Amino acid sequence: MSRIRLVVRGRVQGVGFRWATVEQGRRLGLAGWARNLPDGAVEVVADGAAPAVQALRQWCAHGPPSACVTTLEETPAPAGEVAAEFRVRG
């Protein structure tokens, strides 16, 4: 099992990035969430099999067609429970 926290910057709010991330996370069988941050970024926390987590990381590097990702920052994932399924948070 693997867990990551990503902060995705660029044109990632108002373009369906969170919802597309949830779809990808569910397709990959991951638990976790995606949420908008006040500074215009999107935060993603994903938990699951290491290959699936890395596949989501790679997907987040470009996101859906309407997004324009400029930076993808990976930081230590927060401790605590993650939802049973992938969802939009907050």
18 among known catalytic residues: yes
Range of the domain at 16: 2-88
pLDDT higher than 80, residue 38? yes
Mean pLDDT estimate for the chain: 94
36 among known catalytic residues: yes
First-to-last CA distance in the chain? 25
What's 58's domain CATH number? 3.30.70.100
Q: Is the dihedral of CA 80, 15, 22, 89 positive or negative?
A: positive
pLDDT band at 5 (very low <50, low <70, confident <90, very high): very high
Most distant CA pair in the chain, distance: 32
Q: In the chain, how many domains are there?
A: 1
pTM (two decimals): 0.93
Choice among 36, 57, 87, 89 that is catalytic: 36
